[in-house]
Structure 1
Amino acid sequence: MTDTSFAALQPGRPWPMGATADADGVNFAVASAHAEAMTLCLFDETGRTELARLPLPARSGDVWHGWLPGAAPGLVYGFRAHGPWQPAAGHRFNERKLLLDPWAREIVGRHEWRPEHTGADPRDNAEHALKARVVPAAEGFEWAGDQPLRTPLADTVLYELHVKGFTRQHPGVPEALRGTYAGLASDAAIAHFKRLGITAVSLLPVHQHIDEERLVAMGLSNYWGYNTIGFFAPEPSYAAGADARREFRQMVQRLHAAGIEVILDVVFNHSAETDEHGPTLSFRGLDNAGWYRLRHESRALYENDTGCGNTLDIRQPRVLQLVLDSLRYWVGEMHVDGFRFDLAPVLGRGHQGFDRDGAFFMALRQDPLLQGVKLIAEPWDIGPGGYQLGQFPAGWLEWNDKFRDTMRAFWLGHPAHRGDFARRLAGSAELFHQRGRAPGEGVNYVVSHDGFTLRDLLTYEQRRNQANGEDNRDGHGHNLGWNCGHEGETNDAAVQTTRARLARALLATVLLSQGTPMIAAGDELGHTQDGNNNPYCQDNATTWIDWASADEPLIDFTARLIRLRRELLPLGERWYSGFPDAEGLPDLAWFGPDGRPLGAAQWHDAEARTLGAFIGSPGRAAGPLLLLVNAQAEDTGFLLPEPGTTQAAWQLLLDTAAQPGTQPAPATTVPAGAWVTVPGRSLVLLASA
C-alpha cells in the first residue's frame, strides 16, 4: 500500500528512538538487528484506517530511520518489520503484523484478543492493532517551579497504593475523579496523606498495560498492572480526562506541593507478549531475538525467569537503552522521584547470572539525571539464583522479606527466636552492613500489595482466592498469619481485641525499626480483601479501599507512630556496635525481662517472645530510649535499667496495648529499677525522663 499524498521519507537520523517532532516534520527511529527491511505505516486519527506504507530509507547499525517532511504531532503510526519466520532460530518476523513503537509516548486503541495478533496467523491485524501517536517535543506543561523533594531516607515513610483502588470509593473525592490520577491529587486524598505523615506514595504500575487473554475470558482484568506494553505511556484508564500525561503531571505537582514524593513500580523484566503462544504486538515482531532471552536448547522458546512467559534481555544494548530512556523520561518530563523495580534481579542478569556490577547498574550509577532518585529493588525473581536480597549495589533500597517473615512469625506464634527479631529490628546488618550498605537501604514491611492485608493476616489462616478462577491454587500458601482463634470475621469481642492489639504491635514494629518503613494503603484503617491474598485480577470492591468502614482510631494510632518516628528516629542512621561510649553507655544493648543481658541459649529459645532494647544512641531523641517487646499471650514484668543520665526515671511514650486515644499522658514517668508490666502481644516505648 502506498499513498502519494505523503511526502517521501528522507534519511533523517538514528536518534532519539521513537518519533520525534520538529518544526518541519517528524523523525522516526526503530531498532532491529535482524530485520531485512522496515516499513512506517500511517493511519487516520482513529487508528483504524491505514493510509500509507513508507519504507524507512536508512539504516545505521541496528537502527532503521527516516524523516517525514510536513508531518506533525497527532500523526498515528506503526511499523512492519520484514524478515524470516524462523522460530527455531529465534526470528518471528511477519510483515502482516502492525507493530507498536516501543518508545511510544501515547498509544492509540485498546487491545482486543483476536487470532490475527498471533505471529503465525496469515491475516493482517492492522485495523485492530495498537498504534502510537506522535506527541509534541515540548508539551508546554507549566511546572511552576516544581523541584525534586529529595527526602532523606531517615525521614522517608513509604505508602504503597493503587491509583484506582485508593480513591475509587472515597466519599471525599468528587465522583468524576474517583479512581484517577486527579483523584489521587484531590484535597481529600492529600489530607489523608498529611494526616498520616507519610512522605512518599509508591504507586503500583502506571505504565500502560493490557489484560491477559485468560483473564479477559473469565471477565477479569490485570488490576495490579504488571503486564506492560507501553513503558513511556501512563495508563489511560486512570485518567479522568482525555490527556493522561497532563493529568499525571498535575498529580505529581500537587503531591510535591504537599511534600509527598512519587515512586513508580516499574516492570522491565518482561513484556505483555507472554510466551511463544502469545500475541505479536511490538517487541516480538520487531526483533524477537534482540529483545528476549531465548533458551539455548531451543530458541523457539523463552527463558521464563519472571513467571510471565518471557524475560526481556537487558544484555542487549537496545533493551538497556529502552529501560534507561524510560526512567529518564519519567524523571525528567514527569518529575517522579524514584522507582520500585519488579523482579529486579532480571535487570542484573548477565551471561553468568546476577551481577551487581552489571551494565544496568553501572549505567544508572553514572547517569546525572538518575543518580539522585530513589531506586528500590524487589530483590528476587524465579530464575536460577534469583534470590538476591542484600546483593544490590550500594545506594539501592531493597524490599526485606526476611523482616516481613520474621516479624510475622515472632508476633503470631510461628517458629522464631529473639535473635531473629533483634537482627531485623536493627536493620538486618548481616544482609546489608557487611556489604557496605546503609541501614536505610532495607525496606521494612509486614504487608505489601502482594498477600493478605494486615487485617486479613490476623483474620484468615487459609487463603480465599476462588474468585481468581484458579481453584484457589494461586497466591502464597505460607503466610505466617494467625486468625486469633476464629477463621474469618467474627463478633467475638475477645478475638477482635486480640486482632486489634496485634495489628497495632505489627505497625509499631515496622515504624520504629531501623531501615526505611513501608505500609500498604488500607492497613492503617482496617481494610479487608475477604481473605484473598492474590487479588491481582480483582478490579472491584475486593481491592478498592473501603473508606466507609475505616477504623478512625487506628488511623490516628498509625499517625502517632509515624510522628514518633519522625521526632525520635529510635534506631538511627548508622549501624550499632553494642560497645559503650566514654560514659559507659552502650549504643544498643539487649536484655531479658529481668534486666540482664541474654545468654546464647536465651537468644535461641524458640519459646521466648520477650525482649528489651536499651537504645543509648537514638537517632534524634535527646537521651536514651527503651523498647520493651512482649509477643507472648501473658502479661510480663520488665525490670527497667538505669537511663544512664542524671535523671533516674523513664517517660512512657507508647503502649500498643492501650486503646488508640488512650495513650500515656506525656507526664507519665516510671522510676528506674522499677518493674513495669508489659501486656501480652504488645510493645512499649519509653524515653529517659
Structure 2
Amino acid sequence: MIAVDDGVPAPLGAHFDGRGVNFALFSEHATAVDVCLFEAGERHETRTVRLPCRTDDVWHGYLRGVLPGQLYGYRVHGPWDPASGHRFNASKLVLDPYAREIRGRIRWHDALYSHRRGGREDRIDRRDSAVYMPKCVVTAPEVPDLALTPVRRPLAETVVYEAHVKALTRTHPDIPEAERGTYGALAHPAIIAHLVRLGVTALELLPIHAFADDRFLVEKGLVNFWGYQPLGYFAPEPRYLGEGGLGGLKAAIRELNAAGIETWLDVVYNHTAEGDHTGPTLSFRGIDNASYYKLDPADPRRTIDCTGCGNTFDASHPRVMQLVLDSLRHWVTAYGIAGFRFDLASSLGRAPFAFTPQAAFFQAVAQDPVLARVKMVAEPWDIGEGGYQLGGYPRGWSEWNDKFRDAARGFWKGDSGTLAKVTQGLTGSREVFAPSRRSPLASVNFIASHDGFTLADTVAYEQKHNEANGEDNRDGHNHNVSRNYGVEGDTDDTAILALRARQKRNMLATMMLAQGVPMLLMGDERSRSQGGNNNAYAQDNPTSWMDWSVDPDPALTDFVANLLALRRAQPALRRRRFFTGALIDPDEPLRDVHWLSPEGTEMEGRHWSDDGLQVFGMQIGNDGDPGDRLLMLFNAGEGAVPFRLAPVVGGPWTPVFDTGEPAGARAPGTPAVESGAAVPLPGRTVLVLTAPGTETGNRGGWVPER
C-alpha cells in the first residue's frame, strides 16, 4: 500500500528513509510533475503519482511503502513553446537527473522525440516513450566505507594512467570470462599488479557516468564506446556492472586504494546525450530545457553548441551548478574518487557565454569542503568562441597540456623550430602557467591520450585511418604530428621497427623527465595500436581493447617501469616550483637549471634562434638539496654527437638511463665521465647522468627491470 505525503524539497532525487521514498525534482518552468512507478518486465507504469508540493521550483512528494529496487521515471507537464525555449511533453518519460542507478538501455524510436521527427520541429509528438526508455532505480542509503577514503597522494608524486574499464580488462587471460569488461575486473590482482609494476599512482577512467549510444551509431551497428554522451551524473554506466552490481565498482576502488592507487574519473558536464534542438527528450530537455541548456538569446528554440555535440550544459544556472557539485561530491563520498578530469572544461567557465576563471563554478569548487581536497584537471578548451584556455584556469586546477604533446612529438620527428617549445615543456611550461600563479604541477604532460593516435601509431602512421567509424574517414582531426619512418602502418622491416621502438622510448622519456604531472595512455607501455584510427570512440572491439596475448615490444614495459622508478628517485624531477635560473649553492656557480650546448658551453642566443638545432643538455637541481643534480642530454638528430660536459656544472657524471637501451637503465658500474670530457651521444637518444651524492637507487627503491 502506497500513501502519499508532501515530503521535502531537499535533497534532490529519490531517497529512501526506511519507510518510504522522498522524490524531489527541480523544474523552474513546469506546471506539474508526475512520478511513474514501474514493475520489472512491464511496458508501462503500474502507478502514476502527482507530486503534491512545489517549493522554490522543486517539486516534491513522499511515497510511503516504496522500497529500494523500485523502478521509476518522471513525466513533466508544462508549456510546449519551442520559440520560447520550452519543450515540455508529458507523453515522454524522463530520467531523474539525480538517479543513483539506471537500468536498461535506450531502444531508439521516433517516439523518444518530443517533436514530430522528420516534419516541423515545433509540432509536438504525443506518442508515449516509456517502453523505449531505461528506468531509474531507487537505491538504499549510502553507508560510509572507510576503505573508500581516497589515497590522496601529493600531486608532485602523481603518475596518471588513462584507461577504459572494458578496454583494459576485456581480453586478460587471468580474469574470469564473466568478469572481463566490468568494474569488478579492475580489482583483479593481474590488473593491479601491472599498474603497480609500472609505477602508476592514479587510474583515470574514461567516462563511467550512465551514457547513451548515439542513434546514428546504433543504426551502423556501432556504439559510443568512450562514453562521452551522458544520461545521468550520479549513476554508474550499467553495461559495466557485472555480477557485482554497484558494489563491484566500490570493491575495485577499495583494492586500488589498498595498492596505493587513486581512482580518477573523466567527467562530462559540458553537454548531454540529448543533442541539439532536434534531438531526443530523455531527461533534462523534458524537465526544463530553458534551465539546463544554454539557449540562443536571438532564437531560444535553438541550443548554443560550444561542445560539438549539439548542446551546452548551463553550469552558470544556480540549480544546474548545484547538480554538478552534488554529483562530484557524490562520487567522492560514495565511491572514494580522488580526482576528476573535466571534458571540454571551458564550457563550465562560461558565465554565461564568455569564459572567465572567476566563474561561479570555479569559486564554488574552491570553497567546497569536500571538493577542495580533490584533484581537479581541465581539458582546457571547447569549440566555442574563446574556448581554447590553456593556462587560463584558476589556482587549484591542473590542465591537459596539448602544447607539450605537440612539441615533444614534433621535436623527435625532426620538425624545425621545436627546441624552444620542447624545453619550455621540460621546465613545466612556466610561460603558460606562471601568469595564473600556479606551479609546474598545473601541467599534465602527455604524449598520447584516448583522443588521437596511440604512441605506437604516432611512429607508424602519418594519416588517420578511421574508415571503420563509418564516416568515410572524415571524422577525427588531421593534426597528428606523427611520422611513419618509411612505411605507413605495419611492416616487417627490422630497421624501421627498431627506429620506431627507439622513438617511442624517446617520447616517453621526454614526458617522464619533464616537470609537471605525467599521464600515460593505456597500452602505450605495450605498443598498443589502433591501426591508425585516431578517433576510435565507436570501436568496442579489438581496435580499442588491450591485447594481453601479444606484446610487440616486450622490453617497453620494463622501460616505462625503470623510467618511473628513476622519476621517483629524483626529487629534481618533481619540483613544486618553477626554475628561475637562481643559484642553488652560494659556494658554487650552480643554478637550478643550466642549458648546455654540445660544445661544452651554456646555450646563448645564437643557439636558441637556430631552428635546426636538435641537440641540447639540461642540468637541473633540486630546490631542497643542492647535492641532487641531474644532467639530461637530448639528441633528436640522426647522427651521433660528442657532447662535452661543461666544467661549470661539475662532475664527474655517471650515466644511469639511456633510451638507446631497450629497458632504459644503464648497467650498474657504468664508468663516470669527468667534467670537461665528451660523452658520445648517439642520434635519437636521451641520456640521463647523475653527479656524486645524487641518489638514484635508494630514495624510492630504484631497482631496474631486466
User: Shared fold by TM > 0.5?
Assistant: yes
Question: Following superposition of structure 1 onto structure 2, how do residues 29-68 of structure 1 map, counting pairs within 5 Å?
Answer: 29-46=24-41, 48-68=43-63
Q: Secondary structure at the match of 2:511?
A: helix
Deviation at 1:664, TM superposition (A): 3.5
Distance 1:366 1:666 in 2: 53
Deviation at 1:323, TM superposition (A): 0.5
Question: Following superposition of structure 1 onto structure 2, how do residues 222-237 of structure 1 map, counting pairs within 5 Å?
Answer: 222-237=224-239
Q: Secondary structure at the match of 2:303?
A: coil
Deviation at 1:108, TM superposition (A): 2.4
Aligned to 1:449: 450
- Amino acid corresponding to residue 117 of structure 1 in structure 2: L
Distance 2:324 2:41 in 1: 29
- Amino acid corresponding to residue 198 of structure 1 in structure 2: V
Alignment partner for residue 591 of structure 1, among 583, 588, 596? 596
Aligned to 2:320: 319
- Amino acid corresponding to residue 636 of structure 2 in structure 1: A
For residues 342-375 of structure 1, give each alpha carbon's deviation from its aligned partner in whole angstroms, at most 9, with x where no partner exists: 0001111003511111111111111111111111
Answer yes or no: is 1:390 the counterpart of 2:391.
yes
Alignment partner for residue 95 of structure 1, among 81, 90, 96? 90
- Amino acid corresponding to residue 651 of structure 1 in structure 2: T
Alignment partner for residue 123 of structure 1, among 107, 124, 127? 127
Distance 1:405 1:145 in 2: 40
Deviation at 1:174, TM superposition (A): 2.0
Aligned to 2:698: none
Against the structure 1 CA distance between its residues 569 and 239, is the aligned structure 2 distance closer, same or farther, given a 3 Å change threshold?
A: same
Answer yes or no: is 1:25 the counterpart of 2:28.
no
Q: Is the 8 A contact 2:401 2:443 kept in 1?
A: yes
Distance 2:582 2:34 in 1: 69
Distance 2:59 2:464 in 1: 50
Distance 2:536 2:277 in 1: 26
Against the structure 1 CA distance between its residues 619 and 233, is the aligned structure 2 distance closer, same or farther, given a 3 Å change threshold?
A: farther
Against the structure 1 CA distance between its residues 660 and 53, is the aligned structure 2 distance closer, same or farther, given a 3 Å change threshold?
A: same
Question: Following superposition of structure 1 onto structure 2, how do residues 295-310 of structure 1 map, counting pairs within 5 Å?
Answer: 295-310=296-311
Q: Secondary structure at the match of 1:13?
A: coil
Q: Secondary structure at the match of 2:280?
A: coil
Q: Is the 8 A contact 2:621 2:627 kept in 1?
A: no
Deviation at 1:623, TM superposition (A): 2.7
Distance 2:612 2:111 in 1: 62
Deviation at 1:468, TM superposition (A): 0.4
Alignment partner for residue 612 of structure 1, among 617, 636, 642? 617
Q: Single out whichever of 507-516 and 102-111 deviates more from structure 2.
A: 102-111
Answer yes or no: is 1:134 the counterpart of 2:138.
yes
Deviation at 1:548, TM superposition (A): 1.5
Aligned to 1:176: 178
Aligned to 1:628: 633
Distance 1:621 1:41 in 2: 68
Deviation at 1:667, TM superposition (A): 4.1
Question: Following superposition of structure 1 onto structure 2, how do residues 293-442 of structure 1 map, counting pairs within 5 Å?
Answer: 293-442=294-443
Distance 1:174 1:661 in 2: 34
Question: Following superposition of structure 1 onto structure 2, how do residues 198-347 of structure 1 map, counting pairs within 5 Å?
Answer: 198-241=200-243, 243-347=244-348
For residues 116-152 of structure 1, give each alpha carbon's deviation from its aligned partner in whole angstroms, at most 9, with x where no partner exists: 11102221112222221111123x57x3544321101
Distance 1:617 1:567 in 2: 12
Against the structure 1 CA distance between its residues 47 and 193, is the aligned structure 2 distance closer, same or farther, given a 3 Å change threshold?
A: farther
- Amino acid corresponding to residue 635 of structure 1 in structure 2: A
Q: Is the 8 A contact 2:148 2:250 kept in 1?
A: no
Distance 1:367 1:640 in 2: 51
- Amino acid corresponding to residue 665 of structure 1 in structure 2: P
For residues 400-435 of structure 1, give each alpha carbon's deviation from its aligned partner in whole angstroms, at most 9, with x where no partner exists: 000001111111122333221211110000111122
Identity, % of aligned positions: 48
Aligned to 2:564: 562
Deviation at 1:593, TM superposition (A): 0.5
Deviation at 1:622, TM superposition (A): 4.2
Q: Is the 8 A contact 2:376 2:397 kept in 1?
A: yes
Deviation at 1:521, TM superposition (A): 0.8
Deviation at 1:497, TM superposition (A): 1.2
Q: Secondary structure at the match of 1:28?
A: strand
Distance 2:373 2:178 in 1: 36
Distance 1:621 1:48 in 2: 72
For residues 302-344 of structure 1, give each alpha carbon's deviation from its aligned partner in whole angstroms, at most 9, with x where no partner exists: 1000000111101111111110111011000111111000000
- Amino acid corresponding to residue 127 of structure 1 in structure 2: V
Distance 1:608 1:47 in 2: 70
Answer yes or no: is 1:189 the counterpart of 2:194.
no
Q: Single out whichever of 122-131 and 508-517 deviates more from structure 2.
A: 122-131
Distance 1:389 1:529 in 2: 28
Deviation at 1:616, TM superposition (A): 3.3
Distance 2:353 2:29 in 1: 25
Q: Secondary structure at the match of 1:448?
A: coil
Against the structure 1 CA distance between its residues 53 and 621, is the aligned structure 2 distance closer, same or farther, given a 3 Å change threshold?
A: farther
Q: Is the 8 A contact 1:567 1:621 kept in 2?
A: no
Aligned to 2:686: 683
Distance 1:612 1:108 in 2: 57
Q: Secondary structure at the match of 2:248?
A: helix
Q: Give 5+ residue unaligned stretches, structure 1.
A: none
- Amino acid corresponding to residue 256 of structure 2 in structure 1: L
Distance 2:435 2:360 in 1: 23
Distance 2:16 2:485 in 1: 61
- Amino acid corresponding to residue 130 of structure 1 in structure 2: P
Aligned to 2:80: 85
Q: Is the 8 A contact 1:105 1:232 kept in 2?
A: yes
For residues 464-495 of structure 1, give each alpha carbon's deviation from its aligned partner in whole angstroms, at most 9, with x where no partner exists: 10000111011110111010122111111111
Q: Single out whichever of 61-70 and 663-672 deviates more from structure 2.
A: 663-672
Q: Is the 8 A contact 1:294 1:303 kept in 2?
A: yes
Distance 1:545 1:618 in 2: 40
Q: Is the 8 A contact 1:305 1:383 kept in 2?
A: yes
- Amino acid corresponding to residue 550 of structure 2 in structure 1: S
Q: Give 5+ residue unaligned stretches, structure 2.
A: 116-124, 693-706
Q: Is the 8 A contact 2:76 2:88 kept in 1?
A: yes
TM-score under structure 2 length normalisation: 0.94
Distance 1:22 1:173 in 2: 38
Against the structure 1 CA distance between its residues 255 and 372, is the aligned structure 2 distance closer, same or farther, given a 3 Å change threshold?
A: same
Q: Secondary structure at the match of 1:507?
A: helix
Alignment partner for residue 674 of structure 1, among 673, 677, 691? 677
Q: Single out whichever of 64-73 and 636-645 deviates more from structure 2.
A: 636-645
Deviation at 1:379, TM superposition (A): 0.3
- Amino acid corresponding to residue 280 of structure 1 in structure 2: T
- Amino acid corresponding to residue 236 of structure 1 in structure 2: P
Q: Is the 8 A contact 1:50 1:127 kept in 2?
A: no
Distance 2:178 2:653 in 1: 52
Question: Following superposition of structure 1 onto structure 2, how do residues 450-599 of structure 1 map, counting pairs within 5 Å?
Answer: 450-550=451-551, 551-571=553-573, 572-581=575-584, 582-583=586-587, 584-599=589-604
Answer yes or no: is 1:650 the counterpart of 2:656.
no
Deviation at 1:244, TM superposition (A): 2.9
Runs of 4+ in 1 over 4 A off after TM superposition: 618-622
Q: Secondary structure at the match of 1:476?
A: coil
Deviation at 1:619, TM superposition (A): 6.8
Against the structure 1 CA distance between its residues 231 and 387, is the aligned structure 2 distance closer, same or farther, given a 3 Å change threshold?
A: same
Q: Single out whichever of 168-177 and 533-542 deviates more from structure 2.
A: 168-177
